[in-house]
A and B are shown apart, each in its own frame.
Chain A
């Protein structure tokens, strides 16, 4: 039996975004997330992502830890004092902590640090404007790993399959090519993860922000860094708390902003070293 509107939901309906080159996005809404981790499981199963250990972290119900080469959806569990969630807090003992769940994912940045840094051209922007690592091109240089301002992409270690290459969320490029919704959004039972054209996703996010603010979450914001050099993302999040508390950088920047200063210094130093050497051998 379908949940909600089933295939009639815009989130689940067949589409032609790839054929029509429509930029797509995710809107992830933690206020309706129930922390079931169906997105994590769906992602792992559909994409054949290998297991990356069975560690016990002790951090609430989060034993996944972080996004990485073999974790492309990651449900974060925050335990908050009840009043901080306002009227959206579950009724009950006021001393009980409230849970906040957020399904994190690759942000598919407008100016993607990983894509800019990739020296092989393995990382490309697709027709739906997502950022994709082509595994058959990647030589595992690891430069994307230090260039992602969100700490998403990573090199897969031995002995996992595909070890040595860089991996991250593919935005289910294969499914989108067939007009299907990405696995995580498809499996989400509460439509906490909504998939669709970026424009519509942003509209929905703004509308939902208004709703939750009216409901008492006065400090809620949208996480979509359009004002930094990242230039906005294709994964928009509604955040009832500050980004830092969820391990999201408050002001993510594309590392390319450092290029001008660094290259100026490099060229000046190279010229100065040549000049000094020539001077030394001329004068002495």
Chain B
């Protein structure tokens, strides 16, 4: 035992030696956690709130929610395009693909929404009541109604010839298809826009200060994504091209509006930090970049760019809510009378 080489000095042991020397030399030591009586009072002020601690609770939502907002919005507006393509464009092929996208989204969305719950096994508790004053309740029922319409619509459209061959009267099959398509389009358009209400009608300053803009933005993102997805699926038709261009142009305006109309701390997360970066990237992809690529004739690239922008935007808005809730100044400023 005695012939073993001495251990290298433990840095923590050396720290103790230095502390003893400092205490002997100066009569006191300084360092984290040792500012005792006579030390500075922790900063608290009306401007910074209570020790700068958050006043609000951040959203507990995880990755499923932004993805659901993207999938639900795309599927909902696909149902609108399916109805428009079949009834007015007389394009069965476009309508079929669109109704498949709608049905697929209608099946994926409840799964995403359920996964995000703290207690997924109780998803059906959502359907205990219907509350007009709760955007979450209206949204859950809208999703259920959309599923109930979009899935039969896609099935009827897919198996229409088989139904006729099986002897189902043409009027009956066509009527059922029209009812299902119409219901899917109506509930789909709501499914794409209600998330704006869901975020807007909350206590989170960055969201509630954009309560009118959010439904517009989410609806446009859904419509643009639905058109983009159909174009990527090979349906290069003029109505989709025009819708893609129009939506990207309006989204450019929306992005510029958010960028120029700054509300200080209330919507700071839209302009700075991680959420600010996400929202800017999303704004460029779904706005000017999508417009430029489309006008340059690179339609698939424009469609892909818009889809990326629409997805990243949902993520950015949820992140902005988290950052906004964490900032007490946003709440204090939201409560202060606006100058002018």
User: Which of B80, B133, B135 is close to A277, meaning CB atoms less than 8 Å apart?
Assistant: B80
Q: Contact check, B42 vs A143: say whether CB atoms are below 8 A apart.
A: no
Distance in Å: Cβ of B267 to nearest Cβ of chain A:
14
Q: Contact check, A276 vs B193: say whether CB atoms are below 8 A apart.
A: no
Report 23 cross-chain contacts, Cβ distance below 8 Å, ordered by A residue.
A68-B57, A117-B202, A120-B122, A120-B126, A141-B126, A142-B59, A142-B60, A142-B61, A145-B58, A147-B203, A165-B118, A241-B46, A244-B328, A245-B50, A247-B55, A255-B201, A258-B201, A263-B215, A265-B215, A267-B193, A269-B196, A269-B220, A280-B240
Q: Contact check, A116 vs B133: say whether CB atoms are below 8 A apart.
A: yes
The interface residues of chain A, by DSSP majority, are classed as mixed
Q: Contact check, B50 vs A247: say whether CB atoms are below 8 A apart.
A: yes
- A240 lies within 8 A of chain B by Cβ: no
Q: Contact check, B223 vs A273: say whether CB atoms are below 8 A apart.
A: yes
Q: Contact check, A270 vs B190: say whether CB atoms are below 8 A apart.
A: yes
Q: Contact check, A244 vs B133: say whether CB atoms are below 8 A apart.
A: no
- A85-96 toward B: CB 8 Å interface, digit per residue (1/0)? 000000000000
A241: nearest residue on chain B (CB-CB)? B46
Q: Contact check, B134 vs A244: say whether CB atoms are below 8 A apart.
A: no
**Contact partners of A149 in chain B: CB under 8 A:** 56, 203
Q: How far is the CA of A261 from the CA of B133 in the complex (A)?
A: 13
Known: A120-B126, A146-B325. Contact between A281 and B42, CB under 8 A? no
Within 8 A of A (CB), among B47-85: 47, 49-51, 53-61, 77, 80-81, 83-85
A123: nearest residue on chain B (CB-CB)? B134
User: Which of B42, B238, B246 is close to A58, meaning CB atoms less than 8 Å apart?
Assistant: B42
A282: nearest residue on chain B (CB-CB)? B88
Distance in Å: Cβ of B275 to nearest Cβ of chain A:
15
Known: A141-B126, A247-B49, A249-B331. Contact between A164 and B134, CB under 8 A? no
Q: Contact check, B119 vs A118: say whether CB atoms are below 8 A apart.
A: no
- A137-152 toward B: CB 8 Å interface, digit per residue (1/0)? 1111111011111111
Q: Contact check, B118 vs A266: say whether CB atoms are below 8 A apart.
A: no
Distance in Å: Cβ of B65 to nearest Cβ of chain A:
9
Known: A120-B129, A250-B332, A284-B238. Contact between A278 and B212, CB under 8 A? no
User: Which of B80, B134, B137, B212 is close to A265, meaning CB atoms less than 8 Å apart?
Assistant: B212
Q: How far is the CA of A153 from the CA of B202 in the complex (A)?
A: 13
Q: How far is the CA of A268 from the CA of B189 in the complex (A)?
A: 10
User: Which of B49, B120, B134, B328 is close to A119, meaning CB atoms less than 8 Å apart?
Assistant: B134
User: Which range holds the interface residue count of chain B?
Assistant: 35 or more
Q: Contact check, B118 vs A155: say whether CB atoms are below 8 A apart.
A: yes
A-B contact count (CB 8 A): 268
B193: nearest residue on chain A (CB-CB)? A266
Q: How far is the CA of A146 from the CA of B205 in the complex (A)?
A: 10
Interface residues of A (CB under 8 A from B): 57-60, 62, 65-66, 68, 76, 78-79, 97, 113, 116-122, 137-143, 145-156, 163-166, 241-242, 244-253, 255-256, 258-259, 261-274, 276-278, 280-284
Q: Contact check, B57 vs A276: say whether CB atoms are below 8 A apart.
A: no
**Contact partners of B334 in chain A: CB under 8 A:** 249, 251
**Contact partners of B126 in chain A: CB under 8 A:** 119-120, 139, 141
Q: Contact check, B196 vs A276: say whether CB atoms are below 8 A apart.
A: no
Distance in Å: Cβ of B245 to nearest Cβ of chain A:
10
Q: Contact check, A244 vs B84: say whether CB atoms are below 8 A apart.
A: no
Not counting A265-B200, A281-B91, a sample of 4 additional A-B residue pairs whose C-beta atoms are within 8 angstroms of each other reads: A116-B131, A119-B137, A262-B212, A274-B185
Q: Contact check, B239 vs A117: say whether CB atoms are below 8 A apart.
A: no
